[in-house]
Structure 1
């Protein structure tokens, strides 16, 4: 019955480290892994996003312009 109180068994339980979970770098927007100054994750989408935004600029300007009082 004294086996559960064995200090060696208790010590083995205490020294089990918890697994550390690294921060997933691939999930963050604007991640620059190679330190060259540009966002590595966004390179493929830049052209499409810019084209879509430029097509919508006229609509955005007319809808966001406040009327003069």
Structure 2
């Protein structure tokens, strides 16, 4: 991998962090670049978890009858 251009600023897509290219392991499905992206994703997961837990009581009422 070549070095990023001297004009590449921190957070620039032209300059991916070297850790990504050199880990030698499989990367996660979703890469979160930056603490703001991590904070947003964490809040989204928590909101989704709350929604799933809220539906836990009503979900069985929509099951098909046992055969």
Q: Which category describes the TM-score, using the shorter chain as reference length?
A: 0.3 to 0.5
Q: TM-score, normalised by structure 1?
A: 0.36
Structure with greater contact order relative to length (CA < 8 Å, sep ≥ 6): 2
Greater share of helix: 1
